[in-house]
Structure 1
Amino acid sequence: LGADPGPELTSLHAELLEGEPSPARPADALAAYERARRTLAESLGADPGPELTSLHAELLEAPPARPTEATRPAEGSRPAEGNLRPRLTSFVGREPELALIRDDLGASRLVTLTGPGGTGKTRLAEQAAAGSEAAAWLVELAPLDHAEAVPGAVVSALGLRETILLPQAGQAPGHDDPTARLVEDLSRRPDTLLVLDNCEHVIDGAAHLAETLLTRCPRLRILATSREPLGVPGEAVRPVEPLPPVPAHRLFAERARTVRPDFDPDADPEAVAEICRRLDGLPLAIELAAARLRVLTPRQIADRLDDRFRLLTSGSRTVLPRQQTLRAVVDWSWDLLDETERAVLRRASVFAGGWDLAAAQAVCGATDDLAALVDKSLVNAVPAPDGTGMRYRMLETIHEYAAERAAETPEVLREAADAHTGYYRELARRAEPRVRSREQLPWIGRLETELDNIRAVLRRTTTPPTADEVAAAELALSMGWFWWLRNYRTEGAAWGLAVAELAPAAADESDPRYWPRLHLDLLRFFLLSDASPREGLDNPVVQDRLVQLRKAFEAGGPESARFPGLLWPFTTFFTDTPALMRESIDAVVANCRLHGDAWATGVALMFRTHMAIDTPGGFAGIDDDLAELRELGRRVGDRWMRAQVASVAAEAAMMRGLPEQARPAYEEALQLAREVGAHHEAPFLITRVAELAYRSGDLDSAEKSLAEASSEADRYRVGDATAYIHALLATIALDRDEPATARALREEAVAVAVRGPLPPHFAALLDALGARITAAESGPLAGLRAMADALRTAAAECTEIVLAHLAGRAAQFLGDLDEHALAVRVLAAATAWRAGIPRSVPEQAMEESVTARARDVLTPESYEAESSAGSALTPAEVPPLLDEVTEG
């Protein structure tokens, strides 16, 4: 044969030369022969054939001549064990899975690796088997076409002959049962591990054989790979998940370097990440994608993954045909399904993301076939995060394939899409009032979980030929408060626009679309007013529509007493009639008391209290509104409303100089906002806590809180909070005598703030900050000039406490200019405007400095005269006094 027969047969040969074998020797000789034959079979790639068989028979009948020294076995040699073949590519990742599989094999004699095609089950099984102390034998079942062939495939893989050469006692000559042969052989072997690879299409045969062998061969263990469990008693099932991002990226990079040795994954990490993510971390798909680097860049590959089945077709020519392209891998799974399972998979293609059991029943019908798809690894089932049941989902690759198959049956697809639309419209309709109640947390979580499906329905109902304006508008309005609360404001506005573009607005109330469309347009502009200020809102067409909305809703009635209709006063911000705001909100409060529920009344009151703090004379009546709001918040149970009440109470306390009341209220508001997931609110509230620390003189604590607020603002993209944060950081930098840092921070704050309509008080504070920076860089005269302009602008719209802050800083500049008499007068005006509200620690230090310097220069009588004159000044009278200094 041109090869050494191996140590086992050589040893047997030597023993036979030394004497006649005992009666028990033929069986032992046969076993030794079989082991030697397997060794040769592995080395030669074929059965040793009749020549060696004949030699074996001759050895047992008559000893041949004594062997030469060259035929004796080498010391320490041992037979080869198993048939695992070395791989030509590296094994990437999977260290945790390998450890778990080996633990499973220690605890169970049958372990099945399950998962969809392309997850790397075979490679993982081989790697796990290679580390086993037992002899490991790989049995490839993929080429089989019927379950009855499984035992014969195992016989062939083990190198056992299909017919028995030397029958055992009690066996009839010609016995050729492969299962019996396996039991006979494996029951006498030492520890052995069989790897039954690709069992899914011959699952019954693999299961029956596994159970038979395990019950009769006590030293045997089986590691199987299949797209569904074997279902044998004692089986341990280990699902093989797709690769996580880090090993997936590494696999792509390693395979990429085999086709492009100079490949650098860091040259376009975003494209590599997108490829691995969109291919679900499937090793086979990633390897096929890497092979395309011969002709495409990573970005070009990523951009073409919507047509992945045509793109990923460059597999190895030496693997099975079903592993050479991505489509062939999934075709293999499809071909194993029966018609009812295929119908369920087609219908399930209308889902986006995951779905629960109720949705499956509504869209797919009976769930038995869904369970079969889970068993066959085409649908994944995992416990829902909230513990309410199981969630089902398909890998993106499987989903795309199922969608292609669904397109082949348009009627089935249409029915499934209609059922999907109906189910999620009803879900959102039921959720809408509950996300504003004490039941809100589970309902908010449910909408968050189903967001991909809701988006799919909105896309379907706003895209011809399946567009449905009524369905789309209803769903968008049901989602409106959720979008606002959870900071999906830009997205919500975009869906509102998509609905608006389906058809012109209804002309009057005779059209059933009239009020829904008014509500939807108002919701869209409201979402845009905060999420993307001024973007498109100054367009003349939009301005006309805003006026139409205000006129429709300001008449009052039930439509103006529910969300979003009750928000109509905000339109005055964009139609050049801001003076109407207070009057408009008072009208909304009265209308909600008459036609609205407790939540609507609470929201109207909440808007009024927020506005009151920021307008002149606004504290009048605020305590009564806050008391009613607390009662409404307790009754409704909405954490967002309660957070707003606490926030308003805190702001009022801070403006009144009562930090001991403001801090716990802000902390309560922050806790409630976080509970409900109102991420847009948290950065503001944390910044307010920082402002309290600043007002108390604790700059270090203020900076620490601002760092936390900045992190949350970046995370949730809350731009207007960023402006507030930078303004306060600039103020701290000034107090630390770092004007250059302060200017840079203020410029960042202005750059963010000017993207939308600035609240008057914040614009005034930015102006005052700019004046202080100018004074630090260019002297007090330049600073005073800028502060005079800031006071002039703020006098008409800002609260007395804001005006007092600006006047106090102007007094400081006057003192620096040795204008001590006027400094005392302006400081007295600021004190009068405060109406007994104490100054912050920084303001108190500034006031003490101005007073001390003035008393050193002025006589007591002059000081008192200036102070008395200043107490009578109005905000409009102060800027001209400052102009006399700057222009003199």
Structure 2
Amino acid sequence: MREQRDAGTCPAGNLPLELDAFVGRATELATLDGALREARLVTVTGVGGVGKSRLAGRAASRSAPRDGAWRVELAPVRDPEFVDYAVVEALGLADHTTRTPRETLLARLAGRELLLLLDGVEHLVDSCAGLVTDLLGRCPGLRVLAVGRRPLAVPGERLVPLAPLAEEDAVTLLSVRAAQHGVPVGRADDEVRELCRRLDGIPLAVELAAGRLDTLTPGQVLGRLDDRFRLLTGENRAALPRHRALRTAIGWSHELCTPGQRLLWARLSVFAGRFDLEAAEYVCSGGGLPADEVLDVLSALLAQSVLTREETPAGTRYRMLDTVRAYGAEWLEATGDAARLRRRHRDWYVGLVTWCELDWFSPRQPEVAARIEAELPNLRAALDHCLSDPDGAHLGQYLAGSLWFLWVGCGRLAEGRHWLDQAVRLDAERTAREQSRLKALWVLAYVAILQGDPVSARAALRECREEAERARNPLAVAYAVHRTGCLALVTDDMVGAEALLRSALERYRELGELNSNVLMAQVELAMTRAFRGDLADAVRLCEDVRRVCDGHGERWARVYALYVLAYAAWSDGDAAGARRLLSVCLVDAHRFRDLLGSVLSLELLALVTVTEGEAAEAAVLQGAAARIWPAVGLPLFGSAHYNAPHELCEATAREHLGDERYQECVRRGARLCREEAVARALRRPPEPAALPGPRGAVRPATAPGT
């Protein structure tokens, strides 16, 4: 899974590496470089396939702002509401709070100096224009480079229209791309030059032609292109020549495909973003295309540059350029088969999520996280399809609830809240007692608890339990009781939390339920025992969780068990043991993008560090944690129990450093991005003269004792 940066201060950005040669465009690149120096909003416009994205990516990589250049791919975004989410995701600004994505962006980009590359704005112009206006108005260090077929029409926008390639550059591009297919092409060949002229120098059209030169000569390609020109230009004589040339090139490539290749091209258009072979075989097979032939047909489309192949942390993925996908979608609609294909797409991702939820509780947890991250655009498309289909309400609720491990375990609480809120409102009367809606309710409550929204959490849990009891659904009741105990825990009701969590665990045992959620219930019970002064019982409970996690290869729930064990080790005077445990916690939580697990580990590492005699380093870590908390929710849940170690660390550090130096160290830590903070926390400090460590737990001033 690709690690994402937390606040955009680490300079690398997220621009993809260029995998093939950048050809020509020296003048246009210089013009775009100059525009980016002079204006805060620059939009590259031009016909689809003219090379806007490639040019903008090259210019962005040369811009080198202090906090990086960040690309947001908007082509897979279908809902205007998701523009803000897409930007938050691309920047890695994981936010667990109830703030809107716009509020998150405004808060976290203030004071940053970065370039935001919005790629593919033409179908989302109004949403993008509103976002850009807000961001540029309140984030003075931000510059925006937009890419689309039309401008945003925002005040201060500088337009850079991109024309097709000059003839020499087009010939060079054809030669270079043909060479990648093992075909030498003479640049002085008259037929090659005529071909590039007839394609109007549009890079996508040239690349499609290059993909055919392994089976056809330039003259044969040119002859077939002439036929398609005569056929297609009659459709709309008022269209610009370059628009006709692009459609002609794509249509010509389509015409050269076999019937099976055309069919697969059309069917693949239902995917949003990248997809893998298994998905293509399931979704696109049948009705004239057997599943065992999909691979060969897909390989042919790949060879013809209709598809591109990418290696990702989740394995091999394929994708279509947006223009090529749109052409296929038109053909799919014309066949009358679009609705069936969208249902098959939905069914595949319902099945995938079912498998991933089961496999989350296994040694494959990191692979599941990577897979589900890679599938996000398609999952969103499936959710949107379910929630907009009157007959798909239960499936939408099932998907939103079953993805709890993505929302909670992989740092996507805000997006999860968006889908869950929609799901539980959808046809509530008809689906009130269905398992899918009850699950969506307790998952919504879980998300709301972690976001610091107890009011919404209580309402969802009350409804879930009442409907589950009416429907005689003991599993949903158990989850409702569990999450009610979790809510009591973070609001300092330790007596109520312990009773509820014990009841939930007993219900789980009776039902034979064992998974990451059940283990978390036991960890939460251990926290109540620790907060009530019984560290020995807390250790016993978490050692049992650790044993089960190790036996099943579970790493996410283990983070929280090790956190409690680390606290117990520190309380017993074993700072070195606590540090070892917390290092494992931090590595795993960071790998899953679990901000809560990460920030709790940092807080406790700060306390361990001050105990080891490194007061300045402890203050730096507290500053780093303070920067992350706003993205999680209320710092330390506003809980006296969770806050006690923080207060002890701060008091000890202030005593050794003095107020002025303590604040200076905290400010230094607050300048660290999440990756830098994690790396620093994992770096073992020098061995100073250690401060005396505690024997027994820290006691908050307003609680019975921790």
Summarize deviations over 1:561-605 as a string: whole Å, max 9, x none.
876774342355799987522211111122222223343543321
Q: Give ranges in structure 1 of 5+ residues lacking alignment.
A: 1-86, 94-115, 121-240, 252-267, 280-285, 303-310, 750-798, 808-832, 838-888
Is 1:678 matched up with 2:606?
no
The aligned residue for residue 353 of structure 1 is 273
Is 1:274 matched up with 2:274?
no
Is 1:398 matched up with 2:310?
no
Is 1:611 matched up with 2:528?
yes
Is 1:90 matched up with 2:19?
no
Conserved? CA contact 1:553–1:560, under 8 Å: yes
Is 1:473 matched up with 2:473?
no
Conserved? CA contact 1:663–1:692, under 8 Å: yes
Aligned-residue sequence identity (percent) comes to 20
Match of 1:517 among 418, 423, 437: 437
Match of 1:494 among 418, 421, 441: 418
Q: What residue identity is the alignment partner of 2:54?
A: P
Pairing 1:428-577 to 2, within 5 Å after superposition:
428-464=353-389, 468-505=392-429, 513=434, 515-530=435-450, 532-534=451-453, 537-538=454-455, 543-551=458-466, 558-560=474-476, 566-572=482-488
State how many pairs are aligned.
487
Summarize deviations over 1:784-824 as a string: whole Å, max 9, x none.
xxxxxxxxxxxxxxx983247x99xxxxxxxxxxxxxxxxx
Match of 1:646 among 547, 562, 578: 562
Cα root mean square deviation, aligned: 4.8
The aligned residue for residue 372 of structure 1 is 300
The aligned residue for residue 383 of structure 1 is 311
- Distance change >3 Å, CA 566–CA 726, structure 1 → 2: closer
The aligned residue for residue 736 of structure 1 is 657
**Deviation of 1:679 (Å):** 4.4
- Distance change >3 Å, CA 397–CA 248, structure 1 → 2: farther
- CA separation in 2, counterparts of 1:367 and 1:567? 46
Conserved? CA contact 2:398–2:439, under 8 Å: no
**Deviation of 1:248 (Å):** 5.7
- CA separation in 2, counterparts of 1:489 and 1:626? 26
- CA separation in 2, counterparts of 1:607 and 1:497? 26
Pairing 1:4-153 to 2, within 5 Å after superposition:
90=27, 92=29, 117-119=49-51
Q: Which has the larger radius of gyration?
A: 1
- Distance change >3 Å, CA 627–CA 272, structure 1 → 2: closer
Pairing 1:292-311 to 2, within 5 Å after superposition:
296-297=153-154
- Distance change >3 Å, CA 658–CA 398, structure 1 → 2: same
Conserved? CA contact 1:406–1:413, under 8 Å: yes
- CA separation in 2, counterparts of 1:803 and 1:289? 54
Q: What residue identity is the alignment partner of 1:607?
A: E
Output the TM-score relative to the length of structure 2.
Answer: 0.58
Is 1:245 matched up with 2:53?
no
Q: What residue identity is the alignment partner of 2:464?
A: L
The aligned residue for residue 587 of structure 1 is 503
- Distance change >3 Å, CA 394–CA 721, structure 1 → 2: farther
- Distance change >3 Å, CA 317–CA 695, structure 1 → 2: closer
- CA separation in 2, counterparts of 1:88 and 1:688? 53
Summarize deviations over 1:132-171 as a string: whole Å, max 9, x none.
xxxxxxxxxxxxxxxxxxxxxxxxxxxxxxxxxxxxxxxx
**Deviation of 1:521 (Å):** 0.9
Q: What residue identity is the alignment partner of 1:394?
A: M
Q: What residue identity is the alignment partner of 1:420?
A: H
**Deviation of 1:458 (Å):** 0.3
Summarize deviations over 1:42-64 as a string: whole Å, max 9, x none.
xxxxxxxxxxxxxxxxxxxxxxx
**Deviation of 1:621 (Å):** 2.6
Pairing 1:209-220 to 2, within 5 Å after superposition:
none
Higher relative contact order (CA 8 A, sep 6+): 2
- Distance change >3 Å, CA 644–CA 88, structure 1 → 2: closer
Summarize deviations over 1:263-308 as a string: whole Å, max 9, x none.
xxxxx998972157889xxxxxx99979967x94588799xxxxxx
- CA separation in 1, counterparts of 2:489 and 2:540? 26
Is 1:417 matched up with 2:342?
yes
- Distance change >3 Å, CA 655–CA 478, structure 1 → 2: same
- CA separation in 1, counterparts of 2:325 and 2:545? 49
SS at match of 1:538: helix
- CA separation in 1, counterparts of 2:275 and 2:442? 32
**Deviation of 1:439 (Å):** 2.5
**Deviation of 1:527 (Å):** 0.6
- CA separation in 2, counterparts of 1:634 and 1:290? 50
**Deviation of 1:476 (Å):** 1.9
Q: What residue identity is the alignment partner of 2:300?
A: A
**Deviation of 1:654 (Å):** 2.5
- Distance change >3 Å, CA 343–CA 675, structure 1 → 2: same
Q: What residue identity is the alignment partner of 2:296?
A: D
- Distance change >3 Å, CA 92–CA 674, structure 1 → 2: same
- Distance change >3 Å, CA 561–CA 695, structure 1 → 2: farther
Q: Give ranges in structure 2 of 5+ residues lacking alignment.
A: 1-23, 31-47, 64-111, 124-143, 168-196, 203-240, 286-293, 671-695
SS at match of 1:652: helix
Summarize deviations over 1:201-259 as a string: whole Å, max 9, x none.
xxxxxxxxxxxxxxxxxxxxxxxxxxxxxxxxxxxxxxxx93462426879xxxxxxxx
- Distance change >3 Å, CA 364–CA 693, structure 1 → 2: same
**Deviation of 1:740 (Å):** 11
Summarize deviations over 1:615-636 as a string: whole Å, max 9, x none.
x344363233233223322222
